[in-house]
Amino acid sequence: MNNGYLFAFITLASWTVSTFELAKLSRLEAPAAINKAALFLSTFLLAAVVCIADDLNPVQLITKPHTSNWIWLSISGIIGKSIGDYLSYNSLRILGARRRTMISTLTPGFAWLFGWLFLKESMSLVSITAMLLTISSLLLMLNSQSEREEVRNEKFGMPLQGLLLGIGAAALTGLAFILSKKTFAENDTNISEFHGTWIRIVTAFTALLLFDIGRNKHTPFIKPFLNMQKAGLLFTGVLFGAVIGLSFSLMAVTRLNTAVAFTVFALLPVSTMLVSILLFKKRVTPQSWLYSMLAVAGVMLLIWHNHLR
């Protein structure tokens, strides 16, 4: 089987761990501070990974990529990490891990749209049907009056606000990955996916710093995380999310059709639900189980259909 599928499921497992850690953190600290601190920490962690994995010295991190690599990956990083992650943290704060990840099922549709616009990718009727099955099943899980009431009772924001922030994050994430994939697909690229991820992270962090300088207002991102609990949640969330998860997701989308990779990623709501049940003893209704199984069936259909074509 194509290694892209393996990388996609490694991404799914990593993002599951990261989601729960960052969900806890998002209700202890402001999203803007989390976003900047996560990018700052990711810059150094990923730099170490790239230097070891690609046998580079720190100077080559900057000099080895071509100008075109820096341009496309920088745009991708600013769109997906500077802006997209900020929206995502706000949505996560309002909706919580399980509900927020349900909105990520919209990402394959955005990825497919942008892939069609920029990379001229195509999907068969069976693939489209499988994607729609997965996305619609997971969205139906979210359409519950009890879920909306629970969000209101948690008092971190209104359900509609969290939903709109999540949709914005999904759209920007889809566009950012397409821009990353364009770099590896069309340009004379001589860097690894891990190196590409580092470029996205460091330019996203730099963009936030310049934005703060421009508005003469600086968001503190070190002092709030001197607390051991917050520091532990941040480190684990960044390690599994921005370092392992983001790197393997880029490896997946460069080896698979973008929509296929993102449909696997869209199983994140199912994985978070399973963790909630097994580790946190949450109760799940039979209806939610049914929608979850339909979502899994859609992803399996998509994978095997594309594998056998």
Q: What is the pLDDT of residues 176-191, one digit of tens each?
A: 988 887 777 665 677 8
Q: Are 36 and 221 within 8 A, CB to CB?
A: yes
pLDDT for position 147:
67
- The vertex-173 CA angle with 111 and 154, nearest 5°, equals 120
* Lookup: tokens for 88: 């995502």
d(CA 103, CA 105): 5
* Lookup: tokens for 82: 């500077």
Which candidate, 159, 110, 81, 104, places its Cα nearest to that of 273? 104
Per-residue pLDDT of the chain (309 residues; tens, 9 = 90+): 578 889 989 999 999 999 999 989 988 998 889 999 999 999 999 899 899 888 999 999 999 988 888 988 999 999 999 999 899 889 988 888 877 877 777 776 677 778 777 777 776 787 778 778 877 876 776 666 666 777 788 778 887 788 889 889 988 988 998 888 777 766 567 788 788 889 999 999 999 999 888 887 777 888 888 889 999 999 999 999 877 887 788 788 778 876 677 778 778 878 888 888 888 777 777 777 777 778 777 777 766 665 566
* Lookup: tokens for 240: 């599994």
d(CA 114, CA 119): 8
H or E, element range at 251: helix 246-253
Hey, how many other C-beta atoms are within 10 angstroms of the C-beta on 233? 22
pLDDT for position 145:
67
Cβ neighbours of residue 203 closer than 8 Å, sequence gap 6 or more = 70, 73, 74, 77, 78
d(CA 41, CA 236): 11
pLDDT for position 134:
74
Q: In the block, which residue shows the tokens 């994050």?
A: 169
Which candidate, 88, 86, 83, places its Cα nearest to that of 103? 88
